[in-house]
Amino acid sequence: MIAGGMLMASGPAASGDADAGRALARVWCTEYHLVEENQKQARDIEPLFAQIAGDSAKSSLSIAAWLADPHPPKLSLGQKQISDLVAHLRSLKTD
């Protein structure tokens, strides 16, 4: 349990900037995902950011790996951008 907490503390979300991740999501992710509550449109087949954040099966490391593997629109994100997006997603977690 402690080791997992230590891994999380040194993982992608620990070094990320949630505000920078939110800004990045607004620029790159809104065409595909609903990233904010007041957003009016996105593709309906992609998961909402709130769903990604609330999925207990998704760890910070698994989200980082998912972001590192280019997906539409073939984003190639750097480690800092991935860390920021993971931190933003973790900031949305409600439980």
Q: Locate tokens 């990320």: which residue?
A: 16
Q: Tell me, what's the pLDDT at 38?
A: 73
What DSSP element (H or E) covers 12?
helix 12-15
Per run of 10 residues, the mean pLDDT along the chain (length 95 residues) is 36 77 88 74 72 87 86 80 93 79
Q: Tell me, what's the pLDDT at 76?
A: 83
Q: Tell me, what's the pLDDT at 84?
A: 96
Q: Tell me, what's the pLDDT at 1?
A: 28
- Give the predicted TM-score (pTM) of the model: 0.74
Delineate the domains of the chain, giving CATH numbers in brackets.
2-92 (1.10.760)
Q: Tell me, what's the pLDDT at 86?
A: 94
Q: Tell me, what's the pLDDT at 83?
A: 94
Helix spans in 37-93 (H): 49-54, 60-68, 79-92
Cα atoms in the Cβ-side hemisphere of radius 13 Å centred on 64: 21
